[in-house]
Amino acid sequence: MSQTNEILETSHAITSVADESGVLCDPLWTVEDVADYLKLQPETIRSMARRGELPALKIGKVWRFQKHAIHEMLVSMY
């Protein structure tokens, strides 16, 4: 069994984990994680996700966000 590598991000305490092939798996952020990162209210994040203004996944009744997709969106704005 291969050993899993973990990288802890100090700004949001979210772990990224490398799979057996060494590919870094992107953590899924919650609405609250994205709200904290963007300095917005959670309801603003939910509204933006519903309108398609943020790259988001709806899993059941909850929204989840890929960290790299949020980052790429911000980079593309500038």
pTM for the structure as a whole? 0.67
Q: What is the pLDDT of residues 2-39, one digit of tens each?
A: 333 332 232 334 444 455 555 557 789 999 999 999 99
CATH of domain 5-77: 1.10.10
| Residue 53 Cα distances to 48, 50, 56, angstroms | 5, 8, 9
Residue 15: partners with Cβ closer than 8 Å, 6 or more residues away = 6, 7, 8, 9, 27
Average pLDDT for 53-73:
95
Cα 71 to chain centroid, rounded: 9
